[in-house]
């Protein structure tokens, strides 16, 4: 892949004409698909539908049927070129903007589309490329951009972690005192011009400078001594250049996303925030400025700092998860400013209660005035599914309770119209009927389940009867594992053939006998490969599973599933979260048949693979009519029944993944303890009743674990495998600081989200770093995560090197 700035468009006959005002093709400037848009003309030759006071923070970019995913993966595989990828992206952007314009949205965002991640886009805009990628100057193209995101044959990718408390992952900027910032991606300006050429006036969206810096990490070598905010004066000149370009292009609004304001910021950080926007004040002259916050309440001091900014036209607040912010607004809101009221939930798929939201808006009207209230989403709609119209699996009743991104755009406009005095009485009546239908439906409530949970919680805190050190001795006596035992996290590559077999069976084009035989053959291949590689504790590869949450939800009551309810997790990786609409039970065993089949294929331990209750909860669209922890305890009891059945079937190692436990942690420290108490308790419920000789594993994905390490210990698992490699062994620092961890632990030794294959020597070096802070008797050797998204050629080489490294270190340990 060469720099996109060097690529040329194909002949005009095959690519829509690009307006001459746009720069040559690059990461920032896709080819345009211009079309006449039939909307009411406004001044300056722009077109837009009815301009009610409505706003969308952001919108999903993957496409209603994952068009971007498939275009990216085809491009990465070399099957298609730059032009094809750019054309798919341009078509998606056009359809998104047109949908919002046709719905009547006044403030339509641009620059919320991304080929991988919006934080990575900001890194590109600022030219903050780590030196290992070999970029020196010029417009950043796809080769550098995707190398930062995914790594390449010679260098690893940048770290990836969760975006606040969502299941979306962002690429973490690596910043140090020597970073030379430059205006290296003109994507924001190009997309504004692209929309303008389509006749749509948009609000360009930028990640705000404070959020960008405070979500970055210090570069290697200055981790403990460098203040990220010391770079504020170096990045603001780049922001000013972007603003100047946007104004020259005709932008009238700019949106800065500053969700960092919902976190616990100290006085110096709030002062830096205030100073940063004061510093940009002259560059912001001539623009209307919106600062958007989301995901939680804005603390009182941050609210005061934010609303004191003179250069800001409007302030956006999440009024779904930020009810305390609503109280702050009632106490005081700056005169003459616009309030972008996020009353439509951007993180869940339930239809908005229009009457309740209208009451909230009317209450705000009494405070700030009707003309100053703008109806908005609580956050970007990136975190919800794209369009309910594409759903064919959901029954009519359940579908009537839902709204995906496309429908939420309509809800925002309906509320804006009603708030302005043009109420659609039929729409509101229909909405009220649907809300009442959900509240009264017998499929939502199961009294016996609620009684079971209440009874279980009265009995104990669900701890195993013996301490972990005693259990590990009993387990080692039974399992007889070597030092530094090797394992994988669960899944093996999901080939096109595997997906075809599952698809045909689901469509009843394949008999159950043939399906079971096909799965058995796949299991045998995976087991044989692991035995040949010398892996100690095996997995069956999960060929029968579509997704680690969906697979279980399909077998639990109270869950529903979509056909196209995809949500972006990172890059091209999309997930299809289940919908938890009612009380949860397990009608029958879910995994015992497959785990028992796999265990019979080998004499080595075969892990029974389950997804934990907190992860099922956090990776689902959860009912909003009862507290989340109540739903979680229901799921925990269902998983407990499965654990007991696996143990009775002879499975001696059971992994209960809690990949998403950390991401559910509330953004405010004052709320951490309550969440961690019930989340950890739910995990313990799943396995408190097993024998000492049954080894319970858990796995956690990318995140910052150091601040919850004591809660992780309190989970009382026998072995935990955890992300480590992509974060520069950040996890190990907690053990250097004196935390004692007596259970087994497997910090990942290589990054499975990159196609790069680490050498045995590189992995051995990582193991030695772990042994500097962990005892060899508790250390496990494993990849960072499951291997589902990788190719077998990559998996074989990487695991072979992993096992070779483990054997090398074992030999060194035996000599010493």
> Three-class SS of residue 565?
coil
Phi, psi of 385 (to 5 degrees): -70, 165
Residue 1 is encoded by which pair of tokens? 């892949």
Of residues 114, 111, 83, the one with CA closest to residue 9: 83
Sheet (strand 373-377) strand order: 108-110, 202-207, 253-257, 288-292, 314-318, 338-344, 373-377
Q: Is residue 87 within 8 Å of residue 142, measured between CB atoms? A: no
Residue 687 is encoded by which pair of tokens? 């396995």
Of residues 649, 594, 92, 660, the one with CA closest to residue 386: 92
Catalytic residue, candidates 169, 681, 699, 753: 753
How many C-beta neighbours within 10 Å does residue 450 have?
A: 15
Q: Is residue 317 within 8 Å of residue 293, measured between CB atoms? A: yes
Of residues 526, 428, 410, the one with CA closest to residue 788: 526
HEC secondary structure over 26-42:
ECCECCCCCCCCCCCEC
> Three-class SS of residue 71?
helix
Of residues 250, 258, 257, 256, the one with CA closest to residue 202: 250
Say how many Å lie between the first and final Cα of the chain, rounded.
48
Outline where DSSP puts E strands in 348-395.
373-377
Helix pair 267-279, 232-248: axis angle to 10 deg: 40
Helices first, then strands: H and E counts in the chain: 28, 21
- Residues 6 or more apart whose Cβ sits within 8 Å of residue 425: none
Active site (annotated) includes residue 697: no
Q: Is residue 107 within 8 Å of residue 55, measured between CB atoms? A: yes
> Three-class SS of residue 379?
coil
How many C-beta neighbours within 10 Å does residue 43 have?
A: 5
b/e string for 191-221 if b means 16 or more Cβ within 10 A? bbbbbbbbbbbbbbbbbbbbbbbbbbbbbee
Residue 778 is encoded by which pair of tokens? 């508790």
> Three-class SS of residue 214?
helix
Residues carrying an active site annotation: 753
């Amino acid at each position: 892949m060469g720099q996109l700035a060097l690529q040329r468009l194909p002949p005009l006959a095959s690519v829509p004409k690009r307006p001459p005002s746009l720069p040559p093709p690059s990461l920032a400037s896709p080819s345009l698909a211009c079309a006449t848009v039939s909307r009411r003309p406004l001044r300056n030759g722009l077109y837009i539908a009815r301009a009610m006071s409505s706003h969308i923070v952001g919108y999903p970019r993957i496409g209603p049927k994952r068009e971007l995913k498939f275009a990216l993966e085809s491009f990465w595989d070399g099957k298609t070129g730059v032009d094809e990828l750019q054309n798919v992206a341009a078509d998606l952007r056009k359809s998104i903007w047109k949908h919002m314009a046709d719905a009547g949205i006044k403030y339509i965002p641009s620059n919320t589309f991304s080929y991988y991640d919006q934080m990575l886009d900001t890194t590109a805009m600022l030219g903050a490329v780590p030196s290992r990628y070999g970029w020196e100057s010029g417009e950043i193209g796809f080769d550098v951009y995707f190398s930062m995101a995914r790594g390449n044959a010679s260098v690893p990718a940048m770290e990836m972690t969760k975006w606040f408390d969502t299941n979306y992952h962002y690429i973490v900027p690596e910043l140090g005192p020597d970073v030379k910032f430059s205006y290296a991606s003109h994507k924001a300006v190009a997309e504004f011009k692209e929309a303008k050429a389509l006749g749509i006036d948009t609000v360009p969206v930028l990640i705000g400078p404070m959020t960008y810096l405070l979500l970055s990490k210090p570069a290697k070598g200055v981790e403990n001594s460098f203040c990220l905010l010391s770079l504020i004066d170096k990045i603001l000149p780049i922001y000013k250049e972007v603003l100047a370009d946007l104004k020259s292009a005709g932008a009238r609004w700019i949106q800065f996303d500053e969700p960092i304001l919902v976190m616990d910021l100290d006085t110096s950080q709030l002062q830096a925030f205030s100073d940063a926007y004061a510093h940009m004040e002259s560059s912001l002259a001539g623009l209307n400025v919106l600062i958007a916050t989301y995901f939680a309440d804005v603390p009182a001091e941050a609210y005061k700092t934010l609303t004191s900014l003179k250069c800001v036209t409007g302030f956006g607040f999440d009024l779904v998860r930020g009810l305390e912010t609503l109280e702050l607004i009632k106490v005081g809101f700056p005169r003459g400013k616009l309030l972008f009221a996020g009353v439509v939930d951007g993180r869940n798929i339930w239809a908005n209660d229009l009457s309740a939201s209208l009451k909230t808006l009317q209450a705000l009207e009494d405070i700030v005035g009707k003309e100053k209230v703008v109806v908005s989403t609580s956050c970007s709609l990136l975190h919800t599914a794209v369009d309910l119209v594409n759903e064919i699996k959901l029954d009519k009743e359940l579908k009537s309770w839902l709204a995906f991104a496309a429908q939420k755009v309509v809800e925002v406009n309906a509320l804006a119209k009603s708030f302005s005095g043009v109420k659609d009485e039929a729409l509101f009546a229909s909405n009220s009927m649907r809300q009442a239908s959900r509240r009264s439906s017998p499929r939502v409530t199961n009294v016996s389940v609620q009684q079971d949970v209440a009874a279980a919680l009265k009995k104990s805190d669900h701890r195993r009867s013996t301490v972990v050190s005693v259990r590990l001795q009993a387990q080692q006596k039974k399992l007889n594992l070597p030092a530094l035992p090797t394992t994988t996290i669960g899944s093996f590559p999901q080939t096109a053939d595997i997906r075809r077999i599952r698809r045909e069976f689901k469509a009843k084009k394949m008999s159950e006998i043939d399906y079971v035989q096909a799965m058995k053959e796949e299991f045998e291949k995976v087991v044989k490969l692991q035995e040949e590689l010398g892996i100690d504790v095996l997995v069956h590869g999960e060929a029968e599973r579509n997704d680690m949450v969906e697979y279980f939800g399909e077998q639990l009551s109270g869950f529903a599933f979509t056909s196209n309810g995809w949500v972006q997790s990172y890059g091209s990786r999309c997930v299809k979260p289940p919908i938890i609409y009612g009380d949860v039970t397990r009608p029958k065993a879910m995994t015992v048949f497959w785990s028992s089949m796999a265990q019979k294929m080998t004499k080595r331990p075969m892990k029974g693979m389950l997804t934990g209750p907190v992860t099922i909860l956090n990776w689902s669209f959860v009912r909003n009519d009862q507290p989340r922890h109540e739903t979680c305890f229901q799921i925990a009891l269902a998983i407990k029944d499965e654990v007991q059945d696996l143990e009775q079937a002879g499975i001696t190692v059971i992994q209960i993944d809690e990949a998403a436990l950390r991401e559910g942690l509330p953004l405010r420290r004052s709320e951490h303890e309550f969440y961690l108490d019930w989340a950890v308790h739910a995990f313990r419920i799943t396995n408190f009743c097993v024998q000492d000789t049954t080894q319970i594993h858990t796995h956690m994905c990318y995140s910052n674990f150091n601040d919850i390490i004591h809660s992780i210990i309190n989970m009382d698992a026998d072995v935990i495998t955890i992300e480590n490699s992509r974060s520069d062994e950040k996890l190990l620092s907690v053990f250097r600081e004196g935390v004692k961890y007596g259970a087994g632990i497997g910090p990942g030794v290589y990054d499975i989200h990159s196609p790069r294959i680490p050498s045995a020597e590189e992995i051995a070096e990582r193991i030695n770093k772990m042994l500097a802070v962990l005892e060899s008797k508790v250390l496990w050797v494993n990849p960072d995560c499951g291997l589902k998204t990788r190719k077998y050629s990559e998996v074989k080489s990487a695991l072979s090197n992993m096992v070779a490294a483990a054997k090398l270190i074992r030999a060194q340990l035996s000599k010493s």
